[in-house]
């Protein structure tokens, strides 16, 4: 006589469990979803359009004489060498391509970097490789309030230490001017005297 009630209770429990599982699946977070799915294409197309931020990239176009400086010891003068650089469009109006030939510690180095502005992330993005290292360096950031200096933050590996993913700051000081510099600051050194590499650019007339 108790089999029917027990069976009925089991079915009710199974049904409640199935309902709970279905409800849990519908509310469980998996990944960010668009608030207005139908507007996704419109948002995407907006991010593809060159903006006022992209307009600033053309300020760097040109050929340059380069003086590179490397500080191995902050208490001593840097090692210095000469080179050349050319900045051109990789994708006109959106991406800059910079090719630089210089020396570091007596070693000839060819470096290539790409700089652009990511409309979706709303920040400048940069990456660089060279003939000396096997690493890809990346950074992103904004201009300071003066609009003269582009400040990017990224990470690098330091095999000498060895440190991985240590924070560095790149400063394109005097961005787009006939004389400008690109500085690399090691943020793990401390609060002062953090500049370890500097490239001084003089635009060729």
Domain range for residue 95?
52-203
Phi-psi region of 62 (alpha: psi -120 to 50; beta: other; left: phi over 0): left
Considering the domain architecture, whether residues 30 and 81 belong to the same structural domain is answered as: no
- What are the backbone dihedrals phi and psi of residue 192, each rounded to the nearest 5 degrees, phi first? -130, 160
Considering the domain architecture, whether residues 116 and 146 belong to the same structural domain is answered as: yes
Please give the pLDDT value at position 103.
Answer: 87
Considering the domain architecture, whether residues 59 and 23 belong to the same structural domain is answered as: no
Considering the domain architecture, whether residues 121 and 172 belong to the same structural domain is answered as: yes
Considering the domain architecture, whether residues 88 and 9 belong to the same structural domain is answered as: no
Considering the domain architecture, whether residues 34 and 79 belong to the same structural domain is answered as: no
Residues of the chain with pLDDT under 70: 1-26
Please give the pLDDT value at position 8.
Answer: 46
Kindly report, residue by residue over 47-81, the tens digit of the pLDDT.
999 999 999 999 999 999 999 999 988 888 889 99
Considering the domain architecture, whether residues 40 and 126 belong to the same structural domain is answered as: no
Please give the pLDDT value at position 26.
Answer: 65
Considering the domain architecture, whether residues 168 and 98 belong to the same structural domain is answered as: yes
CATH number of the domain at 182, please: 2.40.128.20
Considering the domain architecture, whether residues 128 and 42 belong to the same structural domain is answered as: no
Considering the domain architecture, whether residues 135 and 56 belong to the same structural domain is answered as: yes
Counting the structural domains of the chain, the total is 2
């Amino acid at each position: 006589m108790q089999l029917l009630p027990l069976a009925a209770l089991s079915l009710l429990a199974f049904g409640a469990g199935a309902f709970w599982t279905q409800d849990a699946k519908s509310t469980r977070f998996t990944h960010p979803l668009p608030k207005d799915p139908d507007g996704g294409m419109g948002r995407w197309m907006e991010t593809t359009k060159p903006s006022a931020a992209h307009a600033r990239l053309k300020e760097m176009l040109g050929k340059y004489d380069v003086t590179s400086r490397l500080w191995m010891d902050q208490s001593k003068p840097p090692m210095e060498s000469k080179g050349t650089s050319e900045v051109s469009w990789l994708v006109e109006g959106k991406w800059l391509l910079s090719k630089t030939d210089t020396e570091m510690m007596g070693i000839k180095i060819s470096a290539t970097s790409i700089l652009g502005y990511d409309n979706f992330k709303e920040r400048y993005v940069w990456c660089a490789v060279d003939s000396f290292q096997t690493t890809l360096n990346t950074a992103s950031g904004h201009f300071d309030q003066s609009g003269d200096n582009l400040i990017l933050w990224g990470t690098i590996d330091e095999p000498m230490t060895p440190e991985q993913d240590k924070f560095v700051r790149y400063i394109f000081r005097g961005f787009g001017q006939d004389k400008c510099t690109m500085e690399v600051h090691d943020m793990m050194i401390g609060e002062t005297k953090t500049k370890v590499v500097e490239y001084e650019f003089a635009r060729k007339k």
